[in-house]
């Protein structure tokens, strides 16, 4: 018999599945995608298959362990050779990514199984998200997962919401998905740029 999942595990599974569902609308063969927070590589793996052989995936993390874990996962799962793993902060992605972005994923917080004192920080996250929105191609989209169960995560989420709600709805649509009766559960934003956005 399968062991019953905890409520937190159910939340995580739902979060991941929903993120990928919404982002899939912006992924296609040959597109450019960015994993802004590589972690252990699961989002990177998803993106490599979604963009196909002719697409390109750029994945960023500041921890060497994240690159090692991700590379091992991609090799184990026979991922297409369409990715670049970059040891750098996500707010510096424009130094590596050529042209615009069709789709991007942020999975904020700390490296699962790693040092929990090393987390994404609101200052660099704010800059990365702002620049990612600006670099989205018309019709492109981002998903941003936030983990308010720790102090930096709560602050990060509040700051991002304050920024995202300022975008002009005519050109940028921002949605938020959360469990309203569980304030420490993860939630995520979906940011979609309209086909006729002037930037």
Report yes or no on 37 lying in a domain: yes
- For residue 181, name the pLDDT band (cuts at 50, 70, 90): confident
Can you give the residue range of the structural domain that contains 76? Answer: 7-93+103-193
Report yes or no on 199 lying in a domain: no
Torsion angles phi and psi, residue 138, rounded to 5: -55, 130
pLDDT of residue 120: 64
Strands across the sheet containing 32-35: 83-87, 56-61, 32-35, 101-107, 136-146, 187-193, 172-177
Report yes or no on 84 lying in a domain: yes
Q: What is the pLDDT of residues 151-175, one digit of tens each?
A: 777 888 899 999 999 999 999 999 9
Q: What is the pLDDT of residues 41-76, one digit of tens each?
A: 999 999 999 999 999 999 999 999 999 999 999 999
**DSSP summary character for residue 156:** H
Cα dihedral across residues 136, 124, 169, 104: positive or negative = positive
pTM: 0.89
Report yes or no on 185 lying in a domain: yes
Three-state secondary structure of 62-98: CCHHHHHHHHHHHHHCCCCCCEEEEECCHHHHHHCCC
pLDDT of residue 166: 96
Report yes or no on 2 lying in a domain: no
* CATH code of residue 145: 3.40.50.150
Helix H segments across the chain?
A: 7-24, 42-51, 64-76, 122-135, 151-164
Count of the separate structural domains present in the chain: 1
Please check whether residue 110 is in contact with residue 100, taking contact to mean a CB–CB distance below 8 angstroms.
Answer: no
pLDDT of residue 3: 44
Report yes or no on 50 lying in a domain: yes
Report yes or no on 198 lying in a domain: no
Report yes or no on 71 lying in a domain: yes
């Amino acid at each position: 018999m399968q062991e019953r999942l905890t409520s937190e595990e159910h939340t995580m599974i739902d979060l991941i599945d929903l993120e990928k569902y919404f982002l899939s609308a912006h992924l296609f063969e040959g597109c450019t995608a960015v994993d802004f927070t590589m972690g252990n590589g699961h989002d990177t793996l998803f993106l490599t298959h979604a963009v196909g052989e002719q697409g390109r995936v750029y994945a960023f993390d500041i921890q060497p362990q994240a690159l090692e874990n991700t590379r091992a996962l991609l090799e184990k799962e026979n991922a297409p050779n369409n990715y670049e793993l970059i040891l750098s902060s996500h707010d510096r992605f424009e130094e590596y990514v050529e042209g615009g972005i069709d789709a991007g994923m942020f999975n904020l917080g700390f490296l699962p199984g790693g040092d929990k004192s090393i987390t994404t920080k609101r200052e660099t996250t704010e800059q990365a998200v702002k620049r990612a929105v600006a670099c989205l191609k018309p019709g492109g989209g981002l998903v941003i997962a936030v983990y308010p169960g720790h102090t930096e995560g709560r602050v990060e989420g509040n700051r991002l919401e304050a920024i995202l709600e300022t975008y002009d709805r005519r050109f940028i649509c921002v949605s938020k998905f959360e469990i309203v009766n569980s304030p420490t559960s993860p939630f995520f934003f979906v940011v979609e740029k309209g086909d006729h956005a002037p930037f």
